[in-house]
Amino acid sequence: MKYNGIYPNKCGKFGDFGGIFAPEVLMPALCELDEAFEKYRNDESFKKEFYQILESYGGRPTPLFYAKRLSENVGCKVYLKREDLLHGGAHKLNNVIGQALLAKRMGKKKLVAETGAGQHGFATAIAGAYFGMETKVFMGKVDIARQAYNVYRMQLLGAEVIPVESGSKTLKDAINDGLRYWITNVRDTHYLMGSVVGPHPYPLLVREFQRIIGIETKKQIMELEGRLPNAIMACIGGGSNAIGIMYDFIENENVQLIGVEAAGEGLETGKHSIALGLGRRGVLHGSLMYLLQNEYGNILKSHSISAGLDYPGVGPEHCFLKELSRLRVETATDNETLESFQKLSVLEGIIPALESSHALACLEKIKGEFNKDDIVIINLSGSGSKDLNIIKQRLEFKVK
């Protein structure tokens, strides 16, 4: 299939999905961002500076690691793309460095971002410090209470954390308030969207900055194995780590692409974040996508043990890839995730982020589909050190 370079179209559409459903006040800023991105995406000096920062400051390329003991355990060859080793502890750095560099070239002085778990907020604070740009991070009151450690880390880096009291006081409301702030301060401020969601051009530019994951992975697996993998698996919150690793494999139709959504406490409880699997089409935060919503179009609260997957929508490109039957959508519950979290820690000495553990948990569920020589690559999107407070409530060890 021919795919790369075609989507989104000029209007930001991936088939029916995506678009620019934004208040009028933001339209000029979105058009300006679109123009700036089109100008710089093929600009050699921009690309060079972007990659150089990721290399010298971020630690790219990240390893593609053959997880030997895990492979023996599940019965196929498992490789982990180690985005957890990137500076900041997650794939988020790729996106924030790209956007902050773009904002700087556009002459913007300030950054504003939303955060759920604090992971994207922390990454934005890193970029703010690196580029010397004043940084504000909107974060739901509920999340601030759940993620005190990340709040502190952002503050240490000099970012201002602004509590969000509206709505459900979580990620979606932090995006609402961040966008409201942007509406009021649009002239000198860049809104640094944390995933492949939001109005055009965000799903496009976040994907382009995250593509580095897949470009490296392809090169690395060819060097290591001389062939492409049978499957690539990644967790899906908004979808940035998934599209990042998958995009350069979309045209390789023999490579299965498997996205894993958070099933929270279980499908039947209604407490989950399965927007692709169970959502209906709708418009939220500027984009047409699958959404968890009631019959009247009001957005429902999502649930997940991992704050990074706790979002009632999913990026428009994933919706489109699902519709094309190119993306296979699976789920993992909180409990399945915890088991896999612990398993990787014990088997490989790597503590994965709870988000990434969803992809590991899914492999556990579908491992029977793979032969011994099959290659499965999992995007280990982040490190679990940020999650230890949550894990500790569920998992206690005794000192004898």
Ligand X SMILES: Cc1ncc(COP(=O)(O)O)c(C=O)c1O
CB of 335 to ligand X, least distance (A): 19
- Contact of residue 238 among ligand X, other proteins, none (CB under 5-8 Å per partner type): ligand X
- Contact of residue 100 among ligand X, other proteins, none (CB under 5-8 Å per partner type): none
Closest Cα partner for 283 from 273, 293, 274? 293
356 is a catalytic site residue: no
15: part of which helix (H) or strand (E)?
Answer: none
Q: What are the two backbone dihedrals, phi and then psi, of residue 179, each rounded to the nearest 5 degrees?
A: -65, -35
| Binding status of residue 123 toward other proteins by CB under 8 A | no
Among the listed residues 239, 282, 312, 313, the single contact to ligand X using CB under 6 A: 239
Which positions from 319 through 378 interact with ligand X, judged by CB under 6 A?
A: 353, 355-356
Distances (CA, A) of 223 to 310, 313, 347, 375: 36, 37, 25, 14
Classify 266 in phi/psi space as left (phi over 0), alpha (psi -120 to 50) or beta: left
| Residue from 83, 114, 208, 216 carrying the catalytic annotation | 114
Yes or no: say if 201 and 10 are a contact pair by the CB < 8 Å rule: no
Q: CA-to-CA distance for 26 and 291, rounded, in angstroms?
A: 23
| Binding status of residue 28 toward other proteins by CB under 8 A | yes
- Contact of residue 353 among other proteins, ligand X, none (CB under 5-8 Å per partner type): ligand X
274: part of which helix (H) or strand (E)?
Answer: none
CB of 2 to ligand X, least distance (A): 26
Between 24 and 223, whose beta carbon lies closer to other proteins?
A: 24
Among the listed residues 179, 213, 314, 376, the single contact to other proteins using CB under 8 A: 179
- At residue 282, the 3 state secondary structure works out as strand
271 is a catalytic site residue: no
Q: CA-to-CA distance for 119 and 71, rounded, in angstroms?
A: 29
Among the listed residues 19, 61, 140, 238, the single contact to other proteins using CB under 8 A: 19
Among the listed residues 237, 282, 313, 316, the single contact to ligand X using CB under 6 A: 237
Yes or no: say if 37 and 205 are a contact pair by the CB < 8 Å rule: yes
Which positions from 73 through 92 interact with ligand X, judged by CB under 6 A?
A: 90
| Residue from 92, 136, 218, 322 carrying the catalytic annotation | 92
- Contact of residue 179 among ligand X, other proteins, none (CB under 5-8 Å per partner type): other proteins
Tokens 């990721």 map to which residue?
54
The encoded tokens of residue 279 equal 């959502």
Instruction: Please enumerate in sequence order all residues whose Cβ is within 8 A of that of 57, keeping only pairs 6 or more positions apart, or say none.
Output: 87, 97, 130
273 is a catalytic site residue: no
Number of residues in contact with other proteins, rule: CB under 8 A? 40
Which residues on adjacent β-strands are paired with residue 290? 281
Q: CA-to-CA distance for 196 and 71, rounded, in angstroms?
A: 31
Give, in degrees to the nearest 5, the angle at Cα 59 between 57 and 65.
Answer: 170
Among the listed residues 4, 9, 166, 389, the single contact to other proteins using CB under 8 A: 166
- Contact of residue 236 among ligand X, other proteins, none (CB under 5-8 Å per partner type): ligand X
Strand ranges for 146-274 from DSSP E: 160-164, 189-191, 231-235, 256-264
Between 173 and 330, whose beta carbon lies closer to other proteins?
A: 173
Q: What are the two backbone dihedrals, phi and then psi, of residue 38, each rounded to the nearest 5 degrees?
A: -60, -35
| Binding status of residue 347 toward other proteins by CB under 8 A | no
Burial code (b: 16+ CB inside 10 Å, e: under 16) for 105-120 equals ebebebbbbbbbbbbb
Work out the angle between the directed axes of helices 202-210 and 316-323 (0-180°, nearest 10). 80
Among the listed residues 29, 96, 113, 233, the single contact to other proteins using CB under 8 A: 29
Q: CA-to-CA distance for 174 and 166, rounded, in angstroms?
A: 8
Which positions from 115 through 134 interact with ligand X, judged by CB under 6 A?
A: 116-117, 119-120
Per-residue mark of binding to ligand X, 177-216 (x: CB under 6 A): ------------------x---------------------
Active site residues: 92, 114, 381
Which residues would be at the binding site for ligand X (CB under 6 A)? 90, 116-117, 119-120, 195, 235-242, 308-309, 353, 355-356, 381-382
Which residues of this chain interact with other proteins, rule CB under 8 A? Answer: 11, 16, 19-25, 27-29, 31, 166-167, 172-173, 176, 179-180, 183-187, 280-286, 288, 291, 293, 295-299
